[in-house]
Each structure stands twice: as structure tokens, then as C-alpha cells.
Amino acid sequence: MTVTRRSVLLASAAAPAAGALLGTPSAQAAADAVRASGRRTVALRDGWRFALADPGGITDPTGQYADAAAPGYDDSTWRAVAVPHDWSIEQTPTTQNGTTSGTGFFPGGLGWYRLAFTLPPGHAGRRISVEFDGVYMDSYVYCNGTEVGHHPYGYTGFAFDLTDLLHTDGRTENVIAVKVQNRLPSSRWYSGSGIYREARLVVTEPVHVDRWGTYVTTPEVSDERAVVRVATTVANASGASADVEVVSRVLAPNGRTVARTSSTVAVADLATQTQELTVTDPQRWDFATPRRYTLETELRVAGRVTDTYSTSFGIRTFRFDPDEGFHLNGSHAKIKGVDLHHDLGALGAAISVDAVRRQMTIMKSMGVNAFRTSHNPPSPEMIRICEELGIVMLVEAFDCWKTGKTRYDYGRFFDEWCERDATEMVLAARNSPAVLLWSIGNEITDSTSTAGLAMADRIITAIRAADDTRPLIIGSDKYRTPPAKGSAADLMLAKLDGLGLNYNTAKSVDVLHTTYPHLFLFESESSSETSTRGTYQEPEHLNTGENHTPGRRATSSYDNNLASWTMSGEYGHKKDRDRKWFTGQFLWSGIDYIGEPTPYNVFPVKASFFGAVDTAGFPKDMYHLFRSQWVDEPMVHLLPTTWNHEAGDTVEVWAYSNVDTVELYLNGKSLGVRKFDTKKTVDGRSYLETTEATGDDRTFTTGPYPGSYTSPNGSAGKLHLTWRVP
């Protein structure tokens, strides 16, 4: 069979790729199969043509792309690309055209995509829509020359109905064109540009399950039984009211049917049917056993199946309590989380299931059990992989509201789009057992203003209309001290269930806990220290380990190179550890990312230094510090890892470990035994720590956090063992 970009057979197996030729002997049989079986999805990965019309702006200086959406436009000189695609990562970094160090100096600009295909006659009378999981950003979609929609936000999905514009004679080409405008600066970090997430065509009968049309909750869960509540939204585009039988089956993790029910609803245009099923002896979704069930939904009209729709979900309970902390399935647990931006290092922003799975598997090996989607809704692939690995998620909506942080960011679109984007975020993720929290934003400038209170209300109302089963929080750097009573910052907290704190001291955490007893508290960003794998300088001094020599820029890995707003990794662990009621922390950041190259905000430095793991996936020493506090499997890690010392040098050797006794050897000779003391928190939980002054919350001498951390039990100490080796 010859495959070209000019044809696509939508009647192939579920989720086929575009590009199979029509006209084969099986074409008509396949079209008949579509008519009989209802829904089909076709991944739009191959066959796209791409042109970067303007890498320096969003204009068309020559006018050659004025008709790029027209079906007859000649795109033969455009590049052939596969989607997902990120054109920014293909460009040469530059200081021109609005690029910044925060975005890694990569250009954005104006890009065009085109995809041509034919549809067999069997698709006449069916509903056909195009779905995009994410296009960065400000995209316009055209079908056969007609604009069908506009979507500004680069991090939420969207869909457009193409039915009335498509040719279904099997001969006439259809053309989908997408114009993408990434005018810089549009972000504080590397965003990528283009159709960087998956796209697909969805073909259904007129009577079908609506997009994101199932909502699965488990309002009652015990060891003996779980009540599964299903709300199914049925769409009817036939023009005539229909009695639709909704058949729901629950499949256990092994694929066996464990519950079934059916009921009938009259649908004129759109209607929602709610059903309840009972699953006996439910298998819980948990950190170590992330078991998932499947809801199979079948629609029937006059006995004929018009649609089948699958929804993955999990059975679990959770709660966030201001005084008791976090519990999953009845067991207390600390949030051991990381913040991650969405890029994949040298691969750019284009989504890759394998690359995402590798990243999250590395995080899991560090002991991570939670992920904050900093600072935007995640891809469906990320949600699915967190489900598979047993990693809970804090899903975040925005990095800004109306007041932007860069000139061309989402602030331009907030007023018109915030409810729609918040709703889309929730609909795309609400059935996932991994998703536990919704965040209305990160470090939002408007959040402490009177105008911001109304903005928050709009977002909160939209989220709660789509899902009322999860707490709402904000991640904030605005609450280092409690705000004045009655101020906008104070009133904002009355709207929320929890508060994510970015870089607060232990003292400020305690004050906030007393001042706002209705809120559960956690660190939405902790540490934020910088390090370079294999670089070590002056462990006893703060921020002396920065090499600013061009070509040799690197920062020390002794947990002592801090940004001006933060504390060490050890400090963050102790602050979290000592307070059972404190929900946990999200490390900034789990993995280095493109952009924000603190402390080197100069060209050509393109990547951050904040991660516990570098962009290639290699762990730094910070990874082992966190692992020593987050995993139970015995481990020990020594640093420095360099072997370039000369005779007479004195080397300070550290050991991160979760066992109480470590003996160091050099060439077979013991250099001594070091031990942690076993201590107890004020509520009786055991931990390992040395007993000595720390000074580990120091920042710059002008910073706000001088001093040495002491636990509520009166003890101070370090989370590493030390030898000085001559």
C-alpha cells in the first residue's frame, strides 16, 4: 500500500494515523464498519506541511501567506512535519525579536500548518470534529478556507465541528489549516511554539457522548463496596428528539465486568443522565498500587448502537485537613512533590509519551509521590502517566490573570477566556484518580487586589461547576506575613480550601497556621537552590560557588547555592518534617528546564540550574538528598563525585543516607564512622539527624531569612554526615 499525505481513511481501527490511501479493495467495507460501530478517532500526526512565516514577529511581511488557509494554496515548498511539533526548539537562540533569558532566547513568531485529506462517502451524515490538546499559542483554525475558531491559550485543549464544511465524496480534498502566533515575550519560561500536543479527528453518529461527556465520581468508598456515580452528557445533532438508552459498564483492572446498569433519557439537543453502580471489594488507586477501572458507555437508539465511549477512573478516598494533614485512602502521607515545567529538555515542548514517562519514572525513583503542573494545565499524556505511576497531581490553571507578567502573555485574553479555559482544564482531568487539587494560579499579581477578588470568583465558579469534589488552592509568594484583616489578600483566602506557599520560613508557616485555621498549608515551591552536576565549591560558605566565566558557568552542588528568595533543601525538609499538619512540599524544581537560567541571566545561557535532575535526566546531588528523606529502601550517596584533587588538598565529603551509621573508606582504609541521632518530632514521629548548629536557612546577607533552623522539639542538626579528608 502506498501512503501519501493527500489522503486519510477515517474508517480504520480506533486511533489510526492519518495517511492511508483510499481506493483500496477494503475501503467501502471499512466505511460500512464506521457506519455500524459509531465513534472513531484518527490521530493527525503525519502529513502536515509547515511554514515559519515570520520568526521575528506575527506579521506576514511579503504577503505570501495571505491565502495560506485556502484549499488550493500551493504548499509544496513547505516542510513536511509530524505533529506534535515545536518549531521554537528548531531555531537558533538569539537576543533579538523579543526573546529573553527566561525563555532560553528561543524565537517564536508566526507559523502555519496545513493538512490535506479525503473522506469516503460513508461519512456523509456523520459528525466530524477536529480536536487539539494544545497549540501554543493564539491559534486560528480553518477548514476548506473558512475560519472555524480561535483559541488563544496555549495550554488548554479545544475542538471545532467541521461537519458542514467537509467534502465526503472520496475524491475532493479537504484542508485543515492552523495559524499560530507566538508573539514574544509571551511567557516567563520556555513555552515552545506550534501544534505541540496531539491532534485528532473525531467521527461520531449524530447521537453521541459529548466531548468530555462522562463525569465519574465515587461518593461512597469502603473496603466492602464503592458507589460509582456516572453523569453522562448525550448530544443529539439529528434535529429530532430521541429516546437514548445509556448503558454503563464498569470494568475492573483485569478487564472483567464488575457492574452494569442502563437507563433511558429523552434528548432533544443535550441532556445529562446520572446513574449509580456498585463495585464490591474495590481495588484502590494508591501510591504503590495505582489500580484503574474503566467505564464503558454505550448509547443505543431504537436498539441500535450509536456510540461507545471509554473513561479511565480510579477508586480512592483522600482528604486535606488543616490540623491532620493529607490522607490517601485513610492513611496519613506527606506530599513529596516536585514542580515541573512542560518542556522535555533538548526535545523542546512537543509532547512525547516516552520522554514524559522517563522524566516521571526518574522522579518516582527519587521518592516523588506528587506533581504540580507549573504553571498551566498539563497534557493528557502527563495525566495518564501520573495515574500509571501512582503520582498525585495538583493541576494549575494560570500564571497570570488580567495583569500579565510579560508583554504578550495570557493577560491579554483573561477577561474573555478565563472561565472557558478553567472549565476545559477541569473537564480534561476530572476523571483522573491522580488529580487531587485545582490551583487557580501561581504568584498572581491580581490576587491581592480588590479587582482580583472578582477575577478569582469567576475562576472558582467555573471550576466548581465542572467539579465540586476537589479542594481549590492558590500558589502564592504574597503571604510571607499575614495580611491585614479585611484586605483583599485576606479576603482572597476566605474563598479557598488551601494555600500553597512559595518559600516561606518555618516561623511564617506557624503564624499562618494560627491565623487561618480553615486552610490546609503546604509549600507549593520549596528550595529553589541552584546546582550543576559535578561542581563543588566551599561547602561552609553561601553562594560562593558560582563560576561566572563564560563557557564555564556552573554552581556548587553542596546545597549552598541559593537564590535570594529561598532556603536550602535541608531547611525545606525539616520545616515540612516537623509539622504533621503541614501537607508537604513541591520542590522547585524536579528537573532543570529551558529558560530561567538563574544566576546567569545572560546570553547564551539557555537552561535553568534549579533541578534535582539535569535536562538530560542525570541526577544531581540534590536528587540524593531528597531520596534520602523520601524513600525507605536503604541508600547512601557520597559527594563530591569529582576526582580531580591534588596531593595535600582537604576535601569535605558528605553522605546523604537514610541509615543511621555510615563508614567511609578511601582505598580500603577506613576514614571513620559517622552516625545520625534518632530523634522524634513533637507528635512522636522518628527521624534521623545530626545534632549541631546548621545555619542552613541563610540567604544573601541582605535577605529576609538569617539564622539557624531549630525544630519545635528544641533540636537542631543536619541531614548529611561529614568527613574532612586530607
Q: Examine residue 471 and say whether the peptide bond preceding it is cis (omega within 30 degrees of 0).
A: no
Phi, psi values for residue 149, rounded to 5°: 175, 165
As given in the structure block, the three cell numbers for residue 151 are 483559541
Specify whether the CB–CB gap between 114 and 71 falls below 8 A: no
> Of 216, 227, 316, which Cα lies nearest the Cα of 279?
227
Q: Which residues pair with 172 in a beta bridge?
A: none
> Of 249, 250, 248, 256, which Cα lies nearest the Cα of 232?
248
Catalytic residue, from 205, 381, 396, 443: name it: 443
Separation CA 266–CA 243 (nearest Å): 4
Alpha-carbon distances of 119 from 27, 122, 148, rounded to whole Å? 11, 8, 19
Catalytic status, residue 424 = no
Separation CA 554–CA 533 (nearest Å): 9
Catalytic residue, from 198, 523, 525, 529: name it: 525
Q: Examine residue 332 and say whether the peptide bond preceding it is cis (omega within 30 degrees of 0).
A: no
Burial of 328 (0-12, 13-18, 19+ CB in 10 A): buried
- Residues with Cβ < 8 Å from 579, sequence gap 6 or more? 509, 510, 513, 712
As given in the structure block, the three cell numbers for residue 344 are 522535555
Query: Measured between alpha carbons, how far apart are the two ends of the chain, in Å?
Result: 71
In the three-class reduction of DSSP (H, G, I as helix; E, B as strand; rest coil), residue 383 is classed as helix
Fill in the DSSP letter of residue 326. E
Separation CA 377–CA 398 (nearest Å): 8
Catalytic status, residue 525 = yes
Catalytic residues: 443, 525
